[in-house]
Amino acid sequence: MEGNKKMEVKVYPSLLSVNVLNVEYSIRLVEKIADGLHVDIMDGHFVPNLSYGPSFVEAIKKRTDLSLNVHLMVKEPEKFVDLFIDAGVDELGFHIETTYHPQRLIKYIRDHGVRPFVTLNPVTPLNSIEYLLGDVDMVLLMTVNPGYGGQEFLRFCLKKVRRLREMAVREGISLDIMVDGGIDLSTAPLVVDMGANILISGYGIFGSNDPADTILKMKSLKFKEV
């Protein structure tokens, strides 16, 4: 597809892996080269962990011009979206497993000036979002089971990335496919080869010796038309 040919690999460092006592310092390490920042919101129910809230997102928004990509790992995301829209997010996503009315929620988010996306856990089938691809231009595929940073990449997800890209090409949709979970310099080429074009990485970036250089190397990967 013409849209896919023009795609470049983008990188969103995940703030789940920063030094929480010096978040701003971590942002300064990457903000000149990163394409955005990814923020995981965990409620301790949908995933077995707790993380940041809207006040954190609002504070980050005041300290950087990078776009904020916020991933809601929460039950009943309808109860949370207004809080994060008001906090100034640029992209806001929820898990397809958590709502009965995803299309309505997608429209609500977009109508409030925020770019919506849907997220799938590793074992959630792609047919759960097949009929939503006309409503979103971003999908996040988890390549670990969500809840904790630093987990090992699940290689069976590679086929899922490829199938989603093939679905988008077949439907004529220029779709941003994000991947999150175990993404580092060894796994990034694998997912890009399968059709992913946005890499979300926490420990793979902030756990490296040179976060900015790691991002540069990830961004140098060439998106391949499927």
| Catalytic site positions | 40, 180
Pair type for strands 91-95 and 176-180: unpaired
Tell me how far apart the alpha carbons of residues 7 and 18 are, in angstroms, rounded to a whole number.
28
Structure tokens at 153: 């990449």
H helix intervals, the chain? 2-5, 23-30, 54-61, 81-87, 102-111, 157-171, 188-194, 203-206, 211-219
Tell me how far apart the alpha carbons of residues 59 and 44 are, in angstroms, rounded to a whole number.
22
Task: Specify whether the CB–CB gap between 200 and 38 falls below 8 A.
Answer: yes
With left for phi above 0 and alpha for psi between -120 and 50, is residue 87 left, alpha or beta? Answer: alpha
Nearest to 39 by CA among 9, 81, 79, 68: 68
Exposed, middle or buried: residue 224 (CB in 10 Å: 0-12, 13-18, 19+)? middle
- Which residue type sits at 116? P
- Which residue type sits at 45? H
